[in-house]
Amino acid sequence: MIIKGGIVYDPTNGIFGEEMDIFLEKGKVVEEAKGKEIDARGLLVMPGGVDAHAHVAGTKVNTGRIMRPEDARSGLEPKTKLLRPCTGYTVPNCYAIGYRYARMGYTTVFEAATPIIESRHTHEELEEIPIVDKGALTLFGSNWEVLECVRDDDLDKLAAYVAWGLRASRGYGVKVVNPGGGEAWGFGTNVKGLDDPVPNFDTTPREIIRGLVKANEMLNLPHSVHLHTNNLGKPGNYTTVLDTMDTVKDITSTRDRQVLHVTHMQFSSYGGTGWRDFESEAPQIAEYFNRNDHVTMDMGQMIFGNATTMTADGPLEYNNARLLHAKWSNHDIELEDSSGVVPLVYGRKMPVNAIQWAIGLELALLTESPWKTLLTTDHPNGGPFVNYPEVITLLMSKAKREEEMATLHELVAKRTVLPTIERELDWGDIAVMTRAAPAKVLGLAEKGHLGVGADADVTVYDLRPEKIDPARDHKRVKEALGRVKYTIKGGEVVVRDGEIVAVPRGRTYWVDASVPEKDAERVQVDLVEKFEKYYSIQKSNYMVQDAYVTDPVVVKAGVI
Ligand SMILES: [Zn+2]
């Protein structure tokens, strides 16, 4: 296939708006090829989009669906000859997830949190999400074996357990949520900061973070530790985040990437001493990113309207439910973590929500390098992923931001600096934040770019970058971003003129990391005891078997 004459943005390869042809063959980008021509003359062309953080599969998503039956009616799309029926807006069904990403030009999405014990369910749902390639990050931050290894300062054993946990869950990377807090929640409490001890384990969040970051680097994993910070969602939490990022600054990355990815930073950039004097501290966070290169973040942009929050941060969801008098689901995941689900509504006239909305945008606009700020809504926590076109147009148009701010609670002007920000991102910045950077942050060498050897995942937008001004024509831009001209996945046209025309199966990435035999054996001794004494199921029923991942991409890593 030849994609003819597009205006190409491929930041990884230093291409920013050059007219060129792209050749695809056998699912890859190649130097030269013959075959079907796609007319992209004058149209905006980018690599397929990569979402590095969304909650799209697993038990918590299903809990969200059960708790919000009305959500199903809001996104109905009937069955067609080609397509399965779709339901849902904040918690869409599996088919809708694949189709809707594809229609926006996205070809890869990573599920942000799966406990090992529930990973078979996660993969069953990932298998049912069509078109896009996938992966899942495995939860380690309150896991008993992790806490014991950290307490004993036994990094070799910790690395061996992480390697085993990734294999057991067919997971791609190390996710840490409110480290230690999930365990504390089992006793009805929480950890209050980096040095607050975890009940019964004689260790602290700081030690857990440092231990897992070191183990992650020992294992040479493609992705860094992916962290949801302690105190997330609380006024004044920005100091916790700054301290967290500083505490891993001395650890060297063994790959060409960050040592820590702090996720949905919007929820961790809060000032004030309580909800009454709640304010944005995004400028402080952005300044830290402008001075440091060892960390990356994603926005976690908030979208007004319905959201279904779901997280392994159990105590956070308890607080949300109490504050909002909302429905609440609470879950203790055996030896591994806690979690909770709370449906809620973000309101334009609610001061806290208006400020949260501004914070996400401030983070992206005040951080100079787009390589450090991935575009996410933490679907469906900040809002559903189908709103990415909305977020992109907000970043590209000050006029649009002003239109929106006029509809919000007036405190947004006093408690944030958003009204003073002139910056408008360009297509190069957007291509970085939605493709090149997420692929680099995740360590996906064949995604997020269009160099020879890259996956043949390409988006052609119905937009002429040389004729349209996104700062002014933001309505037209948003529409075009939501229904692309073409999405090409693995060399096959899957979307044409905003409609799905083919439904291939996606592949699932997971990481197989090798460790020294003696450490692997020491872990097995511990696990035999834990399965006998504590787990409700046997180890043989716990592991994700090959049958659960029918089209795997196994990425090798390990202790050198
Ligand atoms: Zn998340």
CA of 55 to the centre of ligand 1 (A): 6
Q: Tokens for 543?
A: 């592991």
Q: Say if pTM beats, i.e. exceeds, 0.85.
A: yes
CA of 459 to the centre of ligand 1 (A): 25
Q: Tokens for 532?
A: 């006998």
Nearest to 224 by CA among 267, 259, 273, 263: 259
CA of 110 to the centre of ligand 1 (A): 10
Q: What burial letters (b/e) apply to 404-430, b meaning 16+ CB within 10 Å?
A: bbeebbebbeebbebeebeebbbbbbb
CA of 311 to the centre of ligand 1 (A): 7
Nearest to 408 by CA among 424, 397, 419, 398: 419
The continuous run of DSSP H or E covering 97 comes out as helix 94-103
Annotate 226-281 with three-state secondary structure.
EEECCCCCCCCCHHHHHHHHHHCCCCCCCCCCCCEEECCHHHHCEECCCCCCCEEC
CA of 317 to the centre of ligand 1 (A): 13
Q: Tokens for 541?
A: 């029923």
Q: Please, what is the end-to-end C-alpha distance for the chain in angstroms?
A: 40
Rounded distance between C-alpha atoms, residue 298 and residue 263, angstroms: 5
CA of 227 to the centre of ligand 1 (A): 9
Contacts of 484 (CB under 8 A, 6+ apart): 103, 104, 105, 459, 460, 461, 462, 495, 498
Rounded distance between C-alpha atoms, residue 170 and residue 176, angstroms: 17
Query: Are β-strands 49-54 and 106-114 bridged in parallel, bridged antiparallel, or unpaired?
Result: parallel
CA of 473 to the centre of ligand 1 (A): 31
Rounded distance between C-alpha atoms, residue 54 and residue 224, angstroms: 17
Rounded distance between C-alpha atoms, residue 36 and residue 497, angstroms: 17
CA of 196 to the centre of ligand 1 (A): 23
Tokens 């909302």 locate to: 326
Q: Tell me the DSSP string of 392-436.
A: HHHHH-HHHHHHHHTTS-THHHHH-SGGG------HHHHHIIIII
| Residue 558: strand pairing partners | 514
CA of 208 to the centre of ligand 1 (A): 19
Low-confidence ranges of the chain (pLDDT < 50): none
Rounded distance between C-alpha atoms, residue 309 and residue 327, angstroms: 11
The continuous run of DSSP H or E covering 46 comes out as strand 44-47
CA 408 to chain centre: 27
Cβ-contact 7, 42 below 8 angstroms = yes
Task: Give pLDDT, residue 560.
Answer: 76
Rounded distance between C-alpha atoms, residue 90 and residue 75, angstroms: 9
CA of 226 to the centre of ligand 1 (A): 10
Contacts of 296 (CB under 8 A, 6+ apart): 224, 257, 258, 260, 261, 262, 371, 372, 373, 374, 437, 441
Nearest to 371 by CA among 449, 472, 297: 297
CA of 268 to the centre of ligand 1 (A): 12
Nearest to 162 by CA among 528, 545, 512, 537: 512
CA of 27 to the centre of ligand 1 (A): 30
CA of 137 to the centre of ligand 1 (A): 10
pLDDT tens digits, 352-363 = 999 999 999 999
CA of 402 to the centre of ligand 1 (A): 28
Cβ atoms within 10 Å, residue 526: 16
CA of 112 to the centre of ligand 1 (A): 6
Q: What CATH code is assigned to 46-500?
A: 3.20.20.140
CA of 378 to the centre of ligand 1 (A): 5
Q: Tokens for 226?
A: 């992916």
CA 115 to each of CA 57, 141, 273, 548: distance values in angstroms, whole numbers, following the listed order? 12, 10, 33, 16
